[in-house]
Structure 1
Amino acid sequence: MQKIVPNIWFNRNAAEAAAFYTAAFPGSTSTVTARYPDEGLPGFQSEFAGAELTVDVEIDGYRLSLINAGPEFTPNPSVSFMLNFDPLLFRGDADAARARLDELWGSLTQGGTVMMELGDYPYSPRYGWVQDRYGVSWQLMLSDSDGDPRPFLMPSLLFGGAAQNRAREAVELYTSLFERSRVGTMVEYTEQTGPATPGAVMFSDFQLEGQWFTAMDSGVPQEDSFTCGVSLEVRCRDQAEIDRLWDALSAVPEAEQCGWLADRFGLSWQIVPENMGELMRHPGAYARMLEMHKLVIAEL
């Protein structure tokens, strides 16, 4: 089971977005994993009675959870998704990897905004960065097959704004908290590059619970920083794990609600029981959850 699941906030159109992604990514699937209760919702959620609450999309075996809610939050480029077109993932066929990258670029750019044009860069012969029609950011990169291979999809954390030059600190914290964690690549800036100081992280990748992530300090000034638009949901095996991670990560008391927290860098996490769906089927559990900060399994 995938322990850490990125959650993406959508404004009443999570099911529509899920259909878009399953059409864009061959072999992907989507499943409605939770619905709002038919009754007992607070007034601000009354229009969602019986509607989808979360829709999970699985891309190349990697799960993303789409939250169907209101306009309170939107994703931004501080958290993007790196798509690694390594020929090893295409039976060693570099031409097939490149063709698939170009095809997906065509799909994701429809109605979207190109942030970095698709082209040849020093770190990749084929790379582009796009914000799709729903505001979700994707980095598409043709990579080589040398060294330790990486999976097709990896969440990418961009440290800018108030979190500028704190990528290394974050990687060290996260890898200290989760099992099966390690740092893979760590490349530093060698000179001042915009707001990035010498020694800041130009690029890094690391594993948490065996899952790959990337992190970097921004080399250009950023207005965007982390929000609830994209959060990392951790599916915990018991109350002890919830308590441990909550105590280690939560740094913004006013952000604590319904199992959500913000860490010292502003990144949003959801610390939840791994059987959350089962717990939410108990009568009154949804209403009790809305009153909680940290989730207490026994009270759900």
Structure 2
Amino acid sequence: MQKIVPNLWYNANAVEAAEFYASLLPRTSSSIGMYYPSEGLLDFQQPFAGEPLVVHLDVAGYRLSLINAGPEITPNPSISFTLQFHQKFLDDGSTSAEQVLRQVWEGFVRDGKVLMDLGAYPFSPLYGWVEDRYGISWQLSLAQQAEPAQLLTPSLLFAGAAQNLAEEAITFYSTLFEDSAVGQKVYYSDPTEPVNASSLMYSDFELAGQRFSAMDSGVAQDFTFSGGISLEVHCRDQAEIDRLWLALSAHPAEEQCGWLRDRYGVSWQIVPANMSALMNRPEAYAKLMKMGKIVIEDF
């Protein structure tokens, strides 16, 4: 079971978005993971009664969860998703990885916004960064490794209030999860505002055996991390929930339903691994809405 599942926030169109991604990305499918209850909702949630709440997206074996909600929160490029195109992730050999990359790029660009043009760069023979029609950012690249472990990798961009904290953050995160490690680190060769001598141009790391990447922004940005993309951690028991909550919680006044924001501004959802089963209990949704940290025995 994937321990850390990125959650993406959508403005009442998560089902539509999931269908779009499934039609565009290789080896990708979607399914409804959870529905809103028909009663017990807060006033602003009433329009969603009985509608899908969570839509699961499986991208070549990697799960994303799409949250079907309102306009209260929006994603931004502080967390994007890198797609490393390699022949191993394609269904057959009739189409090359480059052809698939270009097809996906055209799909994302349509009604989207280009952040970095698709082309050759020193770090990749073909790379581009785009924000899709739903506000989700994607980095597309031809894989350089012989056998990349994941088609999809969450990528954290430390900017704004989190500028130049990438190295500190990934070192901290790696202490929290088993089967974690910090990989390569590439520093900016010529530090200029807003980066300094300790700023990371790129780093990769693993948390719970899953690959992530991080970097400090090389230019000043007017955004930083938001709840538009959060990292949901499936915990084995209450003790693990308590441990991670204590380590990550930095804004207690904002905490609700297992959500918290850490010292760098990254949003996390610390939930029990059997959350779906708990939510099937009587009045579970109403009980969840009253919680900050999740307490399993209170369901």
Indicate the TM-score class for this superposition, using the shorter chain for normalisation.
Answer: over 0.9
Identity %: 56
8 Å contact kept, 1:242–1:273? yes
SS at match of 2:96: helix
TM superposition shift of 1:108: 1.1
Residue number in structure 1 paired with 2:84: 84
Deviation at 1:46, TM superposition (A): 1.0
1:152 is matched with which residue?
A: 151
SS in 2 for 1:119: strand
Runs of 4+ with >2 A deviation:
86-91
C-alpha deviation, 1:194, in angstroms = 3.4
Match in the other structure for 2:186:
187
**Which residue number in structure 2 is paired with residue 108 of structure 1?**
108
What residue in structure 1 maps to residue 260 of structure 2? 261
Question: How much has 1:199 moved relative to structure 2?
Answer: 2.3
Task: State the AA in 2 paired with 1:226.
Answer: F
Does structure 2 retain, via aligned residues, the 8 Å contact 1:190–1:199?
Answer: no
**Residues 153 and 211, structure 2, Cα contact 8 Å, conserved in 1:** yes
> 2:6 matched to which residue of 1?
6
Q: Which runs of 5+ in 2 are unaligned?
A: none
- Distance in 2 between the 1:191 and 1:260 partners? 38
Cα gap change, 1:63 to 1:294, in 2 (>3 Å): same
Q: Equivalent residue of 1:295, what SS?
A: coil
Q: TM-score, normalised by structure 2?
A: 0.96
Q: Is the 8 A contact 2:114 2:130 kept in 1?
A: yes
* Aligned partner letter, 2:34: A
The secondary structure found in structure 1 opposite 2:47 is helix
Q: Cα deviations across residues 34-53 of structure 1 (Å, max 9, x unaligned)?
A: 00111121212111110000
Whether the aligned pair in 1 keeps the contact of 2:84 and 2:148 (CA below 8 Å) is no
The alignment of Structure 1 onto Structure 2 pairs a total of residues equal to 297
Q: How does 1:88-167 map to 2 (within 5 A)?
A: 89=89, 96-145=96-145, 149-167=148-166
Is the Cα contact below 8 Å between 2:26 and 2:90 reproduced in 1?
Answer: no
2:140 partner amino acid: L
Task: Name the CA distance, whole Å, in 2 between partners of 1:63 and 1:235.
Answer: 13
Q: What's 1:16 paired with?
A: 16
Once the 2 structures are TM-superposed, how far is the Cα of residue 24 of structure 1 from its aligned partner?
0.6
Instruction: Describe how 1:22-61 pairs up with structure 2 within 5 A.
Output: 22-61=22-61
Preserved CA contact (<8 Å) 1:87 1:144: no
Q: Secondary structure at the match of 2:99?
A: helix
- 8 Å contact kept, 1:87–1:143: no
Whether the 8 Å CA contact 2:166–2:216 is kept in 1: the answer is yes
Quick one: structure 1 residues 27 and 143, their matched pair in 2 at CA, closer, same or farther if it must change by over 3 Å? closer
Q: What do residues 156-213 of structure 1 show as CA deviations (whole Å, max 9, x unaligned)?
A: 0000000000000110011000010011211111221431112211100100010000
> What do residues 86-119 of structure 1 show as CA deviations (whole Å, max 9, x unaligned)?
456569x8x8121111111111111100010101
State the alpha-carbon separation in 2 of the partners of residues 277 and 90 from structure 1.
31
Q: In the aligned structure 2, how far is the partner of 1:223 from the partner of 1:255?
A: 22
- SS of 1:205's partner is strand
CA distance in 2, matches of 1:103, 1:263: 37
Trace 1:146-295 onto structure 2 (pairs within 5 A): 149-295=148-294
Q: Which moved more, 1:248-257 or 1:60-69?
A: 248-257
Letter of the 1:32 partner, please give it: I
Counterpart-to-counterpart distance in 1, 2:41 and 2:89: 45
- Aligned equivalents of 2:35 and 2:140: distance in 1? 32
Q: What is the DSSP-based 3-state SS (H/G/I as helix, E as strand, rest coil) of the residue aligned with 1:177?
A: coil
Letter in 2 for 1:98: E
Say which SS state the counterpart of residue 72 (structure 2) adopts. Answer: coil
Report SS of the residue matched to 2:21: helix
